[in-house]
Structure 1
Amino acid sequence: MLGTFHFSCPYHILFFLFIILIKQSKKKTLNNMDSSEVITSTNDENFGCFTRVCNKIRSLFKRLYENMIKFGREAMKLGKDDPRRIYHALKVGLAITVVSLFYYFQPIYDGFGVSAMWAVITVVVVFEYTVGATLGKGFNRMISTLVAGFLGVIAHYVADLSGNTGEPILLALFGFIVAAIFTFMRFFPKLKARYDYGLMIFILTFALVAVSGYRDDEVIKMAQQRLWTVMIGSIIAMLICVFISPVWTGTELNNLIASNIEKLAIFFEGFGSEYLKTTEQKPKQDRSNFRQQYKIALGTKSTEETMANFAKWEPAHGKFKFRHPWKQYLKIGTLVRQCAFRVDALDNYLDYDMQQTQPVIQENFKQICKKLSYELGNVMKEVASSIKKMKKTSAVKSQLTDTKLAVRDLKTLLQDKSLWEKFNLLEVLPVATVASILIEIVNCIENIVEEVHELGCMANFKSMENAIGPVKELSDVIRPHYIVTVDDDEEATNKSNVIPNHKGMISPAEAEIKSIG
């Protein structure tokens, strides 16, 4: 047995060694599998990150391309809407090119030095879209540079007399006084309207000349170079703006006022067809185009004032003579806005559901209001055409006559007592309020026609034989009321002093509506 045991021992040892080798090989296999899975997952993660980065870069380029296409379409639309914008951009480029020659050519550069760059800067800040704005800025810059440069040189020499110790103190004091005074002057409405840019340039030029003169002894030469370069840049900008495809501010203001009046005319034409419709009869999108256009006239006050100020700088051109009555345009613009505010109140009644109103009342008011709105639209269109063409017209006379008839019919209907007795007050009041607003609008349009007639007389519109008709007839129909004048020696009224007037009083129709309310 021992022999057998000893004989079989090597086999047992080999068997155990074989089992150990198998276990180790399994462990290595498992370890290799785990490491390969880790490597594979790492590779997958790296590939996913790379894919996300590529997608982001691709989306970035896609958005960039879409924005470029959108920008190109918007640029094409702007150019098609008003080609003068393209011409303006080309004119600015031409002015910059011409004035840059002072910096490129050595002989010219030797005369001006680094100050030649001021000519380029002047063109950039002075050149505007319209002639009036460019002339205003150009003259403001030249005059301010001249006066401020002269005072800056004087301030430098006065401060120089006080010695090295007192010179910086005096220069600082002069700078403080000039900056404080001229900054405060910019708050004056009249100065701010026309000379605000000049006052700002005055402060800048005085500070540059006076302060820089403390380190530079050639103050006069520096002031001269700055003055000449500013004048050259301003003159080049003004000449190119005036003689190459000019955009006149006066013409723009004239067209703006006429356009605002046309927008009111469009509303009146649309109001007549839309008013007194029920909810079922109105379209789903009941904010029609005619109900949006007139709102533009409500926010043009600042634009009109700016244009009127710039137009005063322009020379005589076309039908616009020297000293054209630009203030009259502001008066007309103010009256147009007052009318637009009344139109805005009238617009709210288009959203009113007329099912709450009796059909009889609707039928009585519908035809009269429709006729009156139509006539008002014709009057406003004719007035707008008169301003745009700068010609007097006789068509307004006949149109005002038709408006008189419509107003007379509307007043007769409002004064009908049976209307108020048969129906409930809440049913009649909405349509009566609309009628009252229309009467007020007629009075406002009468004032617009009067001011346009005055503009035609002041600006010498053509065709005096076709002058706007006697507007006062309209007020006699709309507001038959009186005022009383009192002599200085008498405190009592005199019947012989009673004269008709159309301002500040209340018509019988309005008085009746208010008394009922």
Structure 2
Amino acid sequence: MGSTLIDIPEAEGVVVPCSKQKTNKFVDICCRPMVSFLRETKNNRHGLRKVIHSVKVGLALVTVSLLFLLDPLYKGVGENAMWAIMTVVLIFEFFAGATLSKGVNRGIGTTLGGGLGCLAAALAQAVGGVGKAMIVGITVFIFGAAATYTRQVPKLKRRFDYGAMIFILTFNLVVVSGLRAEQVFEIARDRLSAIAIGFAVCLFVSLLVFPIWAGDELHDSVVSRFELLAISLQGFSKEYFGNVDENEKKTGFNFGSKCKSVLHTKTKDETLVNFAKWEPCHGKFGIFYPWGKYLTIGEDLRDLATIILSLKPCLKSTIQPSENSTLGQSVKEPCEAIVASQARMLSELGESMKKMKKCESEDKILLKLKSMRQELSLVATPSTVGINHSDKTEGLGLASFVYSMMEMIEKMEELAKQVEQLGQLGGFS
């Protein structure tokens, strides 16, 4: 029997067919977000990785759910299969290193907590009577307090905080259940095996199915900051020395925004370094790759960004030498050349790290920086800055600018040395 479309009047004598227009509206409403999402995902690498991670979590959950759905597997694992599902939900993280870290922590915490909990429960049952409750209370207090204290030690907290929390939870559950369950050892064994199955599934999917490495993310993130600071230096040079063209004035280029984005990276670096240390060999990164060097380089980059930002007030300062003044003309050319050279150095160092190759001009960079320092010291002499009655104000402004430039050169030297050390330890070709 065929379907009939009914025309519904919407206004005075106006009849709108409900077939094509409403169907098109419905399709448009439903499909437009999906099309936009697919387009954004295609052009956005991070968005694509989010989709991959979501699919991987779904795949892991389906795999462990088979322990419930298939009778042969259910008979072997039983109701403890729920612990495998909980393990997947709790430890599957975006980065492979984070999943491995949480999985190992959960395994260690569960094993230690379950083992010590079984011993405490067995001791309490052997004593019996009032002594049973006393032993349970004492052991819960001692182990709970000790594990909580370790969570406040910075080095242990970074790597084993999750394991300490799982230890506290498992120990208390086993001890308390041991008071009323005679088969506490069997329960602990079954739950541990279910957790191991869940961890194995997470490990398999995370490491073998389109793995997302924290080490790659850390490396790319640090490398990108070199270019950001290079662009910031070029932007400052154009604004300070009056080389901004009309298009840049219209777009309103702000070099300070890129520096600020570099400043807010400390927590990200520390987190990624911690995850990267857990990851196995992948790509050009070996087991003993010096991930800690990225923290030092990241700190130097943040210091450099701070110095560049400190130059921003010079743009609007009234005590800076004017471009047409004798003082301004005498320092413009050398300072402009120094800033441009430092921007090129940052790009070269970033490119060296990106390709994991030794920078051919690394030694030349250090020599250039030393010559820059000497050149700036000549620019900053009293005769050059002209601190006298006529242009004392301009001389003070120039002196503050030159001092910031000297700080930048010193930080660049330190940064170049750190990149060189990373190349030596990391085996750059």
Offset at 1:136? 0.5
Q: Distance in 1 between matches of 2:122 and 2:230?
A: 65
5 Å matches for 1:404-419?
A: 404-417=370-383, 419=386
Larger Rg: 1
Q: Percent identity?
A: 35
User: Could you tell which deviates more after superposition, 86-95 or 158-167?
Assistant: 158-167
Task: Note the alpha carbon deviations across 1:60-98, whole angstroms, 9 max, x for none.
Answer: xxxxx9999779857853663222221111111100100
Q: Find 1:136's aligned residue among 90, 101, 111.
A: 101
Q: Distance in 1 between matches of 2:77 and 2:134?
A: 31
2:24 is matched with none
Q: Conserved in 2, the CA contact under 8 Å of 1:375 and 1:399?
A: no
Task: Note the alpha carbon deviations across 1:481-515, whole angstroms, 9 max, x for none.
Answer: xxxxxxxxxxxxxxxxxxxxxxxxxxxxxxxxxxx
Q: Find 1:323's aligned residue among 276, 288, 303.
A: 288
Offset at 1:170? 2.2
Q: Quick one: which amino acid aligns to residue 40 of structure 2?
A: K
5 Å matches for 1:94-493?
A: 94-277=59-242, 288-352=253-317, 357=322, 359-417=325-383, 419-421=386-388, 423-462=390-429
Structure 1's 273 and 66: CA in aligned 2 closer, same or farther, altered over 3 A? farther
Give the secondary-structure state (helix, strand or coil) at the position aligned to 1:420: coil
Q: Quick one: which amino acid aligns to residue 330 of structure 2?
A: N
Q: Quick one: which amino acid aligns to residue 306 of structure 2?
A: F
CA RMSD of aligned residues (A): 2.8
Structure 1's 451 and 373: CA in aligned 2 closer, same or farther, altered over 3 A? same
5 Å matches for 1:7-156?
A: 73=36, 77=40, 80-82=43-45, 83-156=48-121
Q: Conserved in 2, the CA contact under 8 Å of 1:383 and 1:452?
A: yes
Q: Conserved in 1, the CA contact under 8 Å of 2:307 and 2:408?
A: yes
1:58 is matched with none
1:14 is matched with none
User: Could you tell which deviates more after superposition, 70-79 or 105-114?
Assistant: 70-79
1:510 is matched with none
Structure 1's 331 and 406: CA in aligned 2 closer, same or farther, altered over 3 A? closer
Q: Conserved in 1, the CA contact under 8 Å of 2:321 and 2:327?
A: no
Offset at 1:361? 2.2
Task: Note the alpha carbon deviations across 1:333-365, whole angstroms, 9 max, x for none.
Answer: 121122121112112322335787362222222
Q: Distance in 2 between matches of 1:244 and 1:178?
A: 39
Q: Quick one: which amino acid aligns to residue 44 of structure 2?
A: D
Q: Quick one: which amino acid aligns to residue 150 of structure 2?
A: M
Task: Note the alpha carbon deviations across 1:276-323, whole angstroms, 9 max, x for none.
Answer: 449999977796243211212212111111111111111122211121
User: Could you tell which deviates more after superposition, 408-417 or 200-209?
Assistant: 408-417
Is there any run of 5+ residues in structure 1 with no aligned partner, and where? Answer: 1-64, 463-517
Q: Conserved in 2, the CA contact under 8 Å of 1:160 and 1:167?
A: yes
Q: Distance in 1 between matches of 2:209 and 2:253?
A: 41
If asked which structure has higher relative contact order (CA below 8 Å, sep 6+), I would say 2
TM-score normalised by structure 1 residue count:
0.71
Q: Distance in 2 between matches of 1:417 and 1:369?
A: 17
Q: Quick one: which amino acid aligns to residue 92 of structure 1?
A: V
Q: Conserved in 2, the CA contact under 8 Å of 1:79 and 1:86?
A: no
Q: Quick one: which amino acid aligns to residue 270 of structure 1?
A: G
Offset at 1:409? 3.4
Q: Distance in 2 between matches of 1:217 and 1:75?
A: 56
Q: Distance in 2 between matches of 1:163 and 1:312?
A: 47
Q: Conserved in 2, the CA contact under 8 Å of 1:182 and 1:199?
A: yes
